[in-house]
Structure 1
Amino acid sequence: MHKFKELFGHKPIIAMVHLEALPGTPLYQGSMEAIVERARRDLQILQEAGVSAVMFGNENDRPYELSVNPASVAAMAYVVGRLREEIRVPFGVNVLWDPMASMALAAATGAGFVREVFTGLYGSDMGLWAGRAAEALRYRRLLGRDDLFLLYNVSAEFASPLDSRSLVERARSAVFSSLADAVLVSGPMTGEGARLEHLREVKAALPTIPVLANTGVRHETVADVLEVADGAIVGTALKREGHTWNEVDPERVQQFMAIVRRARGS
C-alpha cells in the first residue's frame, strides 16, 4: 500500500487517454498526427482538472487481440514519446490484451505502471484467454523494470471466467501466487461499472492491498465507490455525452473531480 500511495496519492483517479484506432487495425483513419493531437488535447484537459494519473490505452483497436501486432505497440510508443515532455502526472500504459506488449511499451516510454489481465482463464470475445503472469513478470525483470507497478484486472471485460472459484478467491490468489501489486474489479465491458458489493468483498479479503474500480465509474457513483475502493480508473464518464469513443469533455472532468475532492474530504 505504501508504494501505491507514494505513486498515486490518496484515493486516486487514474484517467484514461484512449487513443484513436492505430495503424493496421480496422478502424484506423490514416493519420498518426491526428491521433497525437487528440491524445494531446485529452491529456491537457485531464491534467488541468487535477486527475491523479493518466493511462494510455488502445481501446479503439477493435476487435481486440490477445497477441498484439507490433505496429500497435510501435504506434503507441510514438504517441507517448511525442507527449512525454507534456506529462506532469504519473502515467501508465495498457496494450489490450497483451501483457508482454504492455511491459515492452512501459519499458520504452518510462511508464510507472501497467494494467493488464495477468491471471485466470476466460472464455471471451477473443476466444480462449489465458493469463501470462509468470511470463510477464520474468519479462519485467529482463527489461530491468522491477519498479513497474502492476495493476491486475481479475474480472476481465468481454469475458467470463472458466474457473469455479469466486471473484474473492481469484483476487487473493492473484496476490499470493502471481504477485499482484494492486487488484482491479471490473464490470462486464468498458463503460459498465463493477458491482459495489464485489468491490466491498474483494477489499475485505485484501485489506492491505490496493483494490480499485476498473470500469464504469460515473459522476453519480464515484463517491460511493471511493468509500469502498482505494481508487478508480475512469474513462467513459469523462467523455462528451458520457460516450466512450468521444473526446474528453472539460466540463464533465471538472464536475467529476469536484465530486472526488468532496468524497476524499469526507
Structure 2
Amino acid sequence: MLIFSKFRPVVIGMIHVPALPGTPGNKLPMEIICERVRQEAIVYKRAGVDSILVENMHDLPYLQGKDLGPETVACMTRACLTAKEALQGHGHTTQDKTLVHSLKAFLQHMPDQLKKMADNAVIAPMTIDGKHEMSSASFPDFKEIGTGKSPAEAKLKGILHICANCIDKEHFTSEEMSHLEQHIQSAKSSEIHGTEERILKLPKNYNEMKFDWRVRNFPVEQKFRTKLSLDGKLVAEGTGQTKRKAMTNCVKEFLRCKIGVQILAGANHQALAVAKAAGLDFIRAEGFIYSHVADEGWMDACAGALLRYRSNIHAKQIQVFTDIKKKHSAHAVTSDVSLAETAVAAELFGSDGLIVTGTATGMEADPEEVKGVVSKVNIPVLVGSGVNLQNVDNYKDASGYIVGSHFKVKGQWRNRINIPRLYAFMVNSWSDFIDFDTILLTEDSKKDSVGDKTDLSSESDSEQSSKEESKDTPIGDTLDTLLLENSPDTDVID
C-alpha cells in the first residue's frame, strides 16, 4: 500500500517500458526490455522516490482493453516482476538516506571538469519576498544558479542543475555517463538488518502519525506475525521467529519502495490481474467514471465492474488510483460536469486516489483545479502530468506527483533518465529531512575531519552503519519503545 505523508507529497517515478512483443514498435527481445526496466527501477530507488509506476507507454498505437492480447498482460507481468525484484535487491533504508548515499557517490564520481566548477562556487545571501533568508550559489562560466536554505543546499542544487543541463546538451561523453551511472548504482547504503542489536527508527516524515501495532503468536508455525496499521488501515505485515524480528520485517515492508502498473489504453482489469500476480501495490486506471472519447475511441466508465473484479480475485489490498477528465481525451459529452463534481463522484464510487492531469503527456495541470479537487474530497489527490522542478511548488496541496517526462533527457518521455535532474527534484522533495552539510563538505571541513567520511566505498557496510547509528538522534519511535508499549504479558490478538 502506498502511504501518503502529511509532511511532503509522495513522488512516483514513471518507467516507460520499451515497445512490447506484438506491437508495431517492438524491436527488442524481452530479455533486453526487462534489463532496461531493471536499470531504471534501480535508478529511481537510489534517488529516494516513494514509488514507481510501470507503464507500456511505447506500445503505440494503443488498443482498448477489450481488444488487448494476452501477450501484453504476460509481458507486463514479467516487466513488473523484474522491477519489483530490482527494488527488493537494493536495501531497506529510508528514502532520504538512500538519496544521501547516492548524492555522495554522484559528487565523488562526476566528471573532472565539473568538480573544478564546483570548487569555484560563489555563495551569496538572498531574501525572498523580503522575509525568507536563503543562500544562492553561482558558478563561473555557467548561467545556472542554486538556491537553498543553507549554502550547502544551494551549492548542491546548483551542481545538479548544471549537470542535468550538460546531459541534455550532450556535453558528456557516453563513456563518462556510463562510468557515473555505474558508480551511482553501486553506491553502498546501510540496510536494515533484523538483528537484535540494531535499533530501527521509523522515517522522520512519518513522525506524529498514529501507528497501531498488532502482534500475534502462531505456536504451530513457531513464529510471530505483525501487522502495522495507520489511521485504521493495514499498511504492512511481517513475520519472524521472535516479536522483534516480526516487527523488523514489518517495518522493512513499510519502507519498501512501492510499485504500481498502468496498461494502456484503459486496460484496467488487465492491470489489476498483473498487480495481483506480481504482488504490486496499486494500479492507475483510466475511464473509472463518466464515459468519454479518447485517442483509441469511445471509452465507457468501468468503476462498478472493476471494483467487483478486484473483490472477486481477492485483491482489495491493491489501491486503484483513477484519472478524472483524463488527458488525450475529449470530454464534451460531460462538459456540464465540472472537474470537482467528477472528483466527488469518483470518491463516491470507491476510488482510492484521484489523478488530475493537463491535456496531454508533459502538459501542466491547472493548479487552481488541483486545489479545487483537494477541497472537495477526502482521498489523496495526485498531479499526473507536467510536474517539474520549476512549478512543483504550485501543487503543494496535492498528496503526490506522478513524474515521467521531467525526469528524462531533454524532458522527452521516450529518452533515458537524466539522473542529475531526477536527483535535483528529489533533493527539493526531501530538503526538510536532509543534512546537506554531511553531503557537501567544504574544503576546510574536509581537512579538519579524520579521513573522508563521505567516501562510503572506504568503509564496510557494518562500519558505516554503526557510525551513522551512533551519531543519529532519535527521529521517531524505535522498536524498543514500541515493544515496551505494545507487548503485554499476553499477545495482542486482532
**TM-score category by the smaller chain?**
over 0.9
Q: Which residue of 1 is the match for residue 27 of structure 2?
A: 29
Over alpha carbons, which structure has the higher Rg? 2
Structure 1 residue matching 2:26: 3-state secondary structure = coil
Query: How big is each residue's C-alpha offset from its partner over 1:6-61, in whole Å with a ceiling of 9 and x where there is no partner?
Result: 69984100111110011111111132122111111111111101000011111111
Which residue of the other structure, out of 334, 342, 352, is the alignment partner of 1:170?
A: 342
Structure 2 residue matching 1:5: 3-state secondary structure = coil
Q: Which residue of 2 is the match for residue 39 of structure 1?
A: 37
Counterpart check, 1:94 vs 2:255? no
The separation in 2 between residues aligned to 1:10 and 1:94, in whole angstroms, is 24
Contact kept, 8 Å, 2:38 with 2:82, in 1: the verdict is: no
Q: 1:245 to 1:85 in 2, by over 3 A?
A: same
Which residue of the other structure, out of 177, 182, 186, is the alignment partner of 2:353?
A: 182
Post-superposition shift, 1:157?
1.5
The separation in 1 between residues aligned to 2:274 and 2:313, in whole angstroms, is 11
Aligned residues: 260
The separation in 2 between residues aligned to 1:40 and 1:14, in whole angstroms, is 16
Percentage identity across aligned positions?
A: 29
The separation in 2 between residues aligned to 1:81 and 1:245, in whole angstroms, is 22
Which residue of the other structure, out of 349, 361, 372, is the alignment partner of 1:201?
A: 372
Q: 1:188 to 1:263 in 2, by over 3 A?
A: farther
Q: 1:263 to 1:194 in 2, by over 3 A?
A: farther
Post-superposition shift, 1:83?
3.5
The separation in 1 between residues aligned to 2:379 and 2:78, in whole angstroms, is 33
The separation in 1 between residues aligned to 2:339 and 2:21, in whole angstroms, is 36
Contact kept, 8 Å, 2:323 with 2:354, in 1: the verdict is: yes
The amino acid across from 2:390 in the alignment is E
The separation in 1 between residues aligned to 2:389 and 2:8, in whole angstroms, is 19
Counterpart check, 1:14 vs 2:12? yes
Contact kept, 8 Å, 1:8 with 1:90, in 2: the verdict is: no
Q: 1:113 to 1:264 in 2, by over 3 A?
A: farther
Post-superposition shift, 1:188?
1.0
Q: Which residue of 1 is the match for residue 74 of structure 2?
A: 74
Q: 1:83 to 1:167 in 2, by over 3 A?
A: closer
Q: 1:262 to 1:194 in 2, by over 3 A?
A: same
The amino acid across from 2:43 in the alignment is I
Q: 1:108 to 1:205 in 2, by over 3 A?
A: same
Which residue of the other structure, out of 386, 390, 393, is the alignment partner of 1:216?
A: 386
The amino acid across from 1:69 in the alignment is G
The separation in 2 between residues aligned to 1:169 and 1:52, in whole angstroms, is 29
Q: Give the unaligned 5+ runs of structure 2.
A: 89-256, 435-494
Q: 1:21 to 1:7 in 2, by over 3 A?
A: farther
Structure 1 residue matching 2:320: 3-state secondary structure = strand
Q: Which residue of 2 is the match for residue 133 of structure 1?
A: 303
The separation in 2 between residues aligned to 1:35 and 1:124, in whole angstroms, is 28
Contact kept, 8 Å, 1:8 with 1:52, in 2: the verdict is: no
Post-superposition shift, 1:79?
1.6
The separation in 2 between residues aligned to 1:139 and 1:173, in whole angstroms, is 20
Structure 2 residue matching 1:224: 3-state secondary structure = helix
Counterpart check, 1:230 vs 2:228? no
Of stretches 79-88 and 155-164 in structure 1, the one that deviates more from structure 2 is 79-88
Contact kept, 8 Å, 1:90 with 1:112, in 2: the verdict is: yes
Q: Which residue of 1 is the match for residue 409 of structure 2?
A: 240
The separation in 1 between residues aligned to 2:74 and 2:391, in whole angstroms, is 36
Q: How does 1:109-124 map to 2 (within 5 A)?
A: 109-117=278-286, 118-124=288-294
The separation in 2 between residues aligned to 1:180 and 1:262, in whole angstroms, is 31
Contact kept, 8 Å, 1:9 with 1:52, in 2: the verdict is: no
Query: How big is each residue's C-alpha offset from its partner over 1:169-222, in whole Å with a ceiling of 9 and x where there is no partner?
Result: 01100111x10111110111111121111101101111x211110111111111
Structure 2 residue matching 1:115: 3-state secondary structure = strand
Of stretches 75-84 and 142-151 in structure 1, the one that deviates more from structure 2 is 75-84
Contact kept, 8 Å, 1:103 with 1:140, in 2: the verdict is: yes
Counterpart check, 1:145 vs 2:315? yes
The separation in 2 between residues aligned to 1:201 and 1:61, in whole angstroms, is 34
The separation in 2 between residues aligned to 1:223 and 1:51, in whole angstroms, is 17
TM-score calculated relative to the size of structure 2: 0.51
Post-superposition shift, 1:138?
0.9
Q: 1:90 to 1:59 in 2, by over 3 A?
A: same
The separation in 2 between residues aligned to 1:204 and 1:196, in whole angstroms, is 12
Q: 1:263 to 1:59 in 2, by over 3 A?
A: farther
Q: Give the unaligned 5+ runs of structure 1.
A: none
Query: How big is each residue's C-alpha offset from its partner over 1:86-108, in whole Å with a ceiling of 9 and x where there is no partner?
Result: 22411111111211111111111
